Structure 1
Amino acid sequence: MIKKPLAVLCIVLITSMYGQTKKIKIPFAKEVWQHDSEKVEFVTHKSVAAVKSKTGESFNIQLKNHQFTNGIIEYDVEFVGRGFPGIGFRSSDDQKNAELFYIRYFGTVDPLSRYTMQYATVIDGVNMWDMTDDYQGAAKIYDQRWNHIKLVISEKQMKVFVNDMDRVALHIPNLEGTRGSGNIYLTGNVIYSNLSITPEATENLPQTAGYDPTYSDTRYLRKWSVSTPVDLPFNRDIMKSIPTSPGVVIDSTLLDDSSWKSIMAEQRNMINLTRLYGATENGNRRLVWLKTNIKSETDQVRRLKLGFSDEVWVFIDGQPLYIDKNYYGSPGMKAPRGRCTIDNSEISLPLKAGDNEIVIGLANYFFGWGLVARLDSNDGLELQ
């Protein structure tokens, strides 16, 4: 008997409904996946080849010898443990930059909960989930049986189907990652089976980014100058006292006036500092300064809606105006659930006739780092 090459045994091509496009069936066999044999086992589960945790803890396996760009990814998953099981694609070898889709499972799932699933990009090892509240959705999740997941990915857009293949459960109009292609990996304390990839099959999903509802809203503060990050230990404040009135100023050792550079808000009008400066080292805290100018025709008071992660100090013309924290998991975390959104806070902004310099200190220690800001009205104003 002539043995077939391992590659033929491991990856079977079949003609699909997409003309000349081929569906690649990926077997769950140890030869096909990078994995930790102490944590992962390849088994037969409910009559199909599958992979599961050996230890009852979350695992991570990465597909060998395949670079994914666009197409359809399908798989079955059975939930057996709590956590955030999901799939990474277009991933770097070290998984520090990737696109990530996952389901939250902590027992029976409410089919109407918009927190059931989420897309988030991974930048420099940071899962940007707390900066992408917009990219969540609901779905019916089955207990103790297979759930079928289908991802359709076309350059900047993605559609996700969960169990119901006739209804899009989550539509991502603009994938926010840094990579156009890369590896595929699976994570979680679950059982996976029936993985297939259909390269370049996109079901007519457009390649270009979809509509951004903030795009035409001129009330957003889009143009800022940003400083170089500095370390800010948890026992240190950014202000110091002075003997005259007013009695506080910004600590000049934390602000180098020569380090400013321009930064523009990106998709969803988010100032994404993780994209610019990378990950904050675990356990540390970093600070940057953002500044912009608002020119007002008259003395007036405007309302400023401000989303941020994780701490802000707002100054107007050098004077402190607002201080706040958005620590996820703490009783004082901002709605919604400690994520950075335009609904985090709203403050009065007293503007004088002429130029008004807005300076914001923004500190980060936990996951994504960024800010989004919008005025209630820009009538009679000229934004930088």
Structure 2
Amino acid sequence: MRIFIVLICFSQLSFSQKIPMDATHWEHDSTTVEFVMHRGVLAAKNKPNKYYQIFLKDHIFTNGTIEFDVELIGQGFPGINFRMSEDRKNGDNFYIRSFGETTPYIRTTLQYAAIMDGMSIWDLSDEYQAGATIYKEGWNHIKLIVNGKQMKAYVNDMEKPALIVPELEGWQNSGGISLSGNVIYANLELKPNITENLSPEAGYISAHNDTRYLRNWEVTEPINFPFGKDIEFPLPSMYGKINSSNLPDSTTIWKPIKAESRAIVNLSREYGLYTEQDGRRLAWLRTSITSTSDQERTLNLGFSDEVWVFINGAILLVDKNYFGTPSQKEPKGRCTIINTSIKLPLKEGENEIMIGLANYFYGWGLIARLDKMDGITFKNEK
């Protein structure tokens, strides 16, 4: 008689969990949301003209599949936070922009962005947008597959992902879940560890292979820089020189900072949320470019929200990228490499690039790339 012994590793088992939409399972504010029967199922529904956020109780999500239905009954940014920190200030966010008619060709319909210190960095995350077919009436079915650093998001079409995120940028490997918006949610189902062969390793990002990006910088601590205040720097004049200056000097303390995978220098991650409502802050960045000869190169620059660019101590560019104003850069105030371009007069030898970067609105960052690398080396590049 043979005895077969089967060993089961419970840590590797996966169980589908259907989460009821009721007050027992969700932390909520009863003045903004109610739990009702809707289209034959339990649902969370906003009270008239109210935005709400509900937090799933006693659950930590790490990897797996998240599915839910959402009906869009108001304008806004309905979505899900996952891997949220205990203080709910950090995590990953997927949402829909619900502002009327959409088509699969409008790439701003869906967005992924990390949440850092309570602030979405959506305006540093232009690559993580996509179009989708969204129904104005009835349920829209959402399916997120999350494994390690990657995510695939399906919207209504479960055969083809609408949005692929090759590298999630939140700080957390696991954490809580919340739903928010002025919408109706139902049929939340969690499938821990069901990842449909999605690799947990970060996927391909095109900037990785591009040697033209300036990735190695130094940065100062930020200072409060209220509106109405400006940077003073030396200028020529009819009477000699204007020498007043509040630029960094020999007493300034610098520390190294590297661009992230998408080549963005992310000061939101480094310094967190601004300290007061509509507060404006300023930090300085510097790096160097070494040229084998005197030459002119084109510097493509993306930034949020204001820059003062200096080369070898001389002012080269002052510019603004204020979202929602005529000064906003394409694409619509987001920080991307196509925001602006400037001619960079390089001398033979080492050239210092110094940039004042101010921010008041959501993500705080900068991305910089030369047009070509003939006779060029960058700081700390080998």
Question: Which of 94, 105, 110 matches 1:112?
Answer: 105
Question: Which of 272, 284, 301 matches 2:266?
Answer: 272
C-alpha separation in 1, matches of 2:313 and 2:242? 12
Does 2:261 correspond to 1:258? Answer: no
Structure 2 counterpart SS, 1:88:
strand
Does 2:31 correspond to 1:23? Answer: no
For residues 175-190 of structure 1, the aligned pairs below 5 Å read 175-190=168-183
Structure 1 counterpart SS, 2:106:
coil
Identify the residue that residue 287 of structure 1 maps to in structure 2.
Answer: 282
Identify the residue that residue 150 of structure 2 maps to in structure 1.
Answer: 157
C-alpha separation in 1, matches of 2:91 and 2:350? 42
For residues 291-302 of structure 1, the aligned pairs below 5 Å read 291-302=286-297
Question: Which of 27, 42, 55 matches 1:62?
Answer: 55
Q: Would you say the 8 A contact 1:273–1:369 is kept in 2?
A: yes
C-alpha separation in 2, matches of 1:45 and 1:149? 18
Give the number of aligned pairs: 365
C-alpha separation in 1, matches of 2:289 and 2:302? 18
Q: Alpha-carbon deviations, 1:312-361, whole Å to 9, x = none?
A: 00001111001100000001100001000000000000001111111000
Q: Identity over aligned residues, as a percent?
A: 52
Q: TM-score, normalised by structure 1?
A: 0.92
Identify the residue that residue 236 of structure 1 maps to in structure 2.
Answer: 229
Identify the residue that residue 375 of structure 2 maps to in structure 1.
Answer: 380
For residues 160-175 of structure 1, the aligned pairs below 5 Å read 160-175=153-168
Q: Would you say the 8 A contact 1:130–1:340 is kept in 2?
A: yes
Structure 2 counterpart SS, 1:259:
coil
Quickly say closer, same or farther: Cα 1:250–1:374, change in 2 above 3 A: farther
Q: Would you say the 8 A contact 1:314–1:323 is kept in 2?
A: yes
Quickly say closer, same or farther: Cα 1:108–1:328, change in 2 above 3 A: same
Quickly say closer, same or farther: Cα 1:198–1:141, change in 2 above 3 A: same
Q: Would you say the 8 A contact 1:249–1:318 is kept in 2?
A: no
Q: Would you say the 8 A contact 1:249–1:319 is kept in 2?
A: no
AA matched with 2:191: T
**Structure 1 residue 38: deviation in Å?**
1.1
AA matched with 2:359: N
Q: After superposing the two structures, state which structure 1 stretch, 243-252 or 43-52, moved more.
A: 243-252
AA matched with 1:301: E
Q: Alpha-carbon deviations, 1:168-200, whole Å to 9, x = none?
A: 100000000000110000000100000000001
Identify the residue that residue 365 of structure 1 maps to in structure 2.
Answer: 360
Quickly say closer, same or farther: Cα 1:210–1:245, change in 2 above 3 A: farther
C-alpha separation in 1, matches of 2:250 and 2:306? 20
**Structure 1 residue 107: deviation in Å?**
1.5
5+ residue gaps in structure 1?
1-18
**Structure 1 residue 108: deviation in Å?**
2.2
For residues 1-384 of structure 1, the aligned pairs below 5 Å read 20-240=13-233, 245-247=240-242, 250-252=245-247, 257-281=251-275, 282-384=277-379
AA matched with 2:246: D
**Structure 1 residue 126: deviation in Å?**
1.1
Q: After superposing the two structures, state which structure 1 stretch, 319-328 or 276-285, moved more.
A: 276-285
AA matched with 1:99: D
Q: Alpha-carbon deviations, 1:12-55, whole Å to 9, x = none?
A: xxxxxxx9421000000101100001111000001111010113
Q: TM-score, normalised by structure 2?
A: 0.93
5+ residue gaps in structure 2?
1-11
**Structure 1 residue 240: deviation in Å?**
4.5
* C-alpha RMSD of the superposition: 1.5
Structure 2 counterpart SS, 1:134:
helix
**Structure 1 residue 298: deviation in Å?**
0.6
